[in-house]
Amino acid sequence: MKPGSSSDSLGKVERVKGGGTTRLGSVLPNPKVEPFVPRIDHNPNELRSWAKRTGFVSGYSGGTETSASEKNDSALFDLENGLDSGNGGTSPKIEIDPVLGRTRPSRGIEIEPVVKNERDGTGKNENQRRRTRDETKVDERKVGLNASGSRHGNAHGIANGNGNGHRNEVPEVAPAAEPKKEDGVSERDEKIDVPYGEEFSQGGWQRLSGMNYGIRENPGFAPSVYYGLQHYLSLAGSLIFIPLIIVPAMGGTDKDTATVISTMLLVSGITTILHSYFGTRLPLVQGSSFVYLAPALVVMNAREYRNLTENKFRHIMRELQGAIIVGSIFQSILGFSGLMSLLLRLINPIVVAPTVAAVGLAFFSYGFPQAGSCVEISIPQILLLLVFALYLRGISIFGNHIFRIYAVPLSIMLIWTYAFFLTAGGAYNYKGCSPDIPSSNILIDACRKHAYTMKHCRTDVSNAWRAAAWVRIPYPFQWGIPIFHLRTSMIMIIVSLVASVDSVGTYHSASLQVNSKPPTPGIVSRGIAMEGFCSILAGLWGSGTGSSTLTENVHTIDITKVASRRVVEVGAVFLILFSFVGKVGALLASIPQALAASVLCFMWALIVALGLSTLQYSQTASFRNITIVGVSLFLGLSTPAYFQQYQPESRLILPSYFVPYAAASNGPIHTGSKQLDFALNALLSMNMVVTLLVALVLDNTVPGSRQERGVYIWSRAEEIATDPSFLSDYALPRKVAKCFCWGKCLGV
């Protein structure tokens, strides 16, 4: 023992067998302790308080600020409380997953050996020597990771040199016994606790998130079919209910509704496969997004279409096709040119959260007013959905949470059957009134007041089943050649930006959910470019809306615990096959409108919740953030209400739930150009557009740190150079990558 040591002896370190823990076997005598010097460089308690919630990757490790390369190479960061001046011990080391923001499976508490306190010629005190030791531990961890790709625990047995040639004396500690596996942690999960950047053939460390199947895993043919159908059944409300809204409003027949549903199934299947192979390669379903529903309602409620009777449906559909194609071309250029990577600097959770929430809130005027047309069906439907999704979500049948996964299809089948018995039992039979709802019913006073109820409540008013063919293949330009107008093209260009922001939030939420690193700006650009191409296909086929990533897919992955690309692709193949059977679309088209509207009340509310959940990646308690989100949402709802009051004649012609979408023809903006007036009035009367503009401006002009805004969660370019292996989940197939070797801006 050298002179100047603060203690004469070290406590014995005793290993407790079977428990995976260590403790100090003896109590140190009263040592001579140096005066305590508080550490003012950072507060570990503050980091621990919100790092778990947000996944923030700290720039500090053991009180030492690391360089940029050390931040990227280090897989974990340690929150250490320092040495206890009372007994010379150390506090347990806490390992936190920097992406998911939660502690890793416990492997026993690590007790660092007590280092002898030496005074050397340099005049270092205990605080400084502890920092030097922590720096050495970080360097040793980096060397261990690069050498073997696994975490080493022998850093304590390595001597640490100091400035004047002295060596710290560190007692050797016997290797720890293999700790027992905790409940709920499988053997495979234990094996794959590796640092970031390690690539494994079976999906690697993705399984840490609790997923049954990782993103690159293949469950086999039979399980893939089962999980694929399960995945799309849980998304049934998002895939098929948009045509039930727009086709009747466009003047289409029941046969047209069945055809549009079949077209949507085909386009959704094709675009999902394309995105799985050439887009971000995340297990995300592409389909008719609710983002495009609001502009479709604006176009179909334009003044020139209100009194149009002949071929009204085809004319509106062709104009929608032209607008979708123009907006999708702009979106593709935005992605393939790399401009999306620049735009991503302005997009973060504070912008995404209110924008996605506004997409769901935009339809509050349609939801229950339309569902209330038949309350004896809609109210039981809403209540049953809530019971299944919330109260019975924990019930497991044969290992599956049936009510949580199949809440929408199960409730639809039960209430649809209930409505069928009401119809068959004569609940909606009125003397002298035809159940087929012919136009002559409105001429009879006794039937006029019952015609509306029969149309929305009866299950036999649709003739789609009788009119649809058994086999019909949807084809491009089935409604005619698209019509291109400047006003609608301008609207769809801005809406494509909203859809891109929506998809960016979905990409990051889904990637963190499957325990993968967030996609880089290049990968996001590739995904947006592919979404634009898929929307072009939707415009050519005439589905009525563009194609985008379904926000509800994040919820589906969470409840099914299946994140395999193969499963999503197999399910997409079944969608394509179902689209060829005309009777499938006809059966779905016969769902009563009140029943569909009540399901959409739940789906739109879910979108609002998923949008606001994006705030978890930022500091949600920040006054700056909550003010921006609150102002964005309020102005996003209030500003369109101002534009919607300039249409007294529309209130006399249109149903109340369509009045908010008719402001484009009667808005307060008058520039002298009818095309520009229509576009501006339409855009400022849409909630999601106003919300995006307000949030984008405020978040990028109000000062705030990167941690406060949640910007750190977006991947940085230097991570690729430091450890490019983490891109394996997003990497294109080899043959495809050769064709895109020029696309460095696309993450290839």
For the stretch 470-513, pLDDT in tens is 999 999 999 999 999 999 999 999 999 999 999 999 998 898 88
CA distance 123 to 116: 15
> Which of 592 and 43 is assigned the larger pLDDT?
592
Residue 302's domain comprises: 221-369+392-418+469-597+604-739
Sequence-ordered list of residues with C-beta below 8 angstroms from that of 715, at least 6 positions apart, any chain: 517, 518, 519, 520, 521
Q: What is the mean pLDDT of residues 156-183?
A: 43
CA distance 111 to 174: 12
CB atoms within 10 A of CB 352: 27
Q: What is the mean pLDDT of residues 585-593?
A: 91
> Which of 1 and 574 is assigned the larger pLDDT?
574
Does residue 141 sit within a domain?
A: no
Structure tokens at 55: 């996944």
Does residue 214 sit within a domain?
A: no
Q: What is the mean pLDDT of residues 8-29?
A: 44
Structure tokens at 605: 């509310």
Structure tokens at 688: 């999601």
21, amino acid identity:
T
- Residue 83 pairs in a beta bridge with 90
Q: What predicted TM-score, i.e. pTM, was given to this entire model? A: 0.72
Does residue 202 sit within a domain?
A: no
679, amino acid identity:
A
Q: How far apart are the first and last CA of the chain?
A: 59
Does residue 180 sit within a domain?
A: no
Rounded percentage of the chain residues whose pLDDT exceeds 90: 41
DSSP string, 645-684: TS-TTHHHHS-GGGGGGGGGGT-S---S-HHHHHHHHHHH
Confidence band of 36 (pLDDT split at 50, 70, 90): low
State pLDDT tens for residues 605-625: 999 999 999 998 888 889 999
- Strand ranges (E), 280-342: 286-288
Give residue 44's pLDDT: 53
Counting the structural domains of the chain, the total is 1
Contact 300, 246 (CB under 8 A): yes
CA distance 658 to 664: 12
> Which of 311 and 295 is assigned the larger pLDDT?
295
CB atoms within 10 A of CB 504: 27
Does residue 236 sit within a domain?
A: yes
Sequence-ordered list of residues with C-beta below 8 angstroms from that of 529, at least 6 positions apart, any chain: 331, 332, 334, 335, 336, 340, 746
- Residue 471 pairs in a beta bridge with 581
Give residue 489's pLDDT: 95
Contact 1, 118 (CB under 8 A): no
CB atoms within 10 A of CB 45: 9
Q: Is 94 helix (H, G, I), strand (E, B) or coil?
A: strand
Confidence band of 161 (pLDDT split at 50, 70, 90): very low
Does residue 460 sit within a domain?
A: no
Of residues 362, 367, 364, the one with CA closest to residue 691: 362
Does residue 290 sit within a domain?
A: yes
Does residue 441 sit within a domain?
A: no
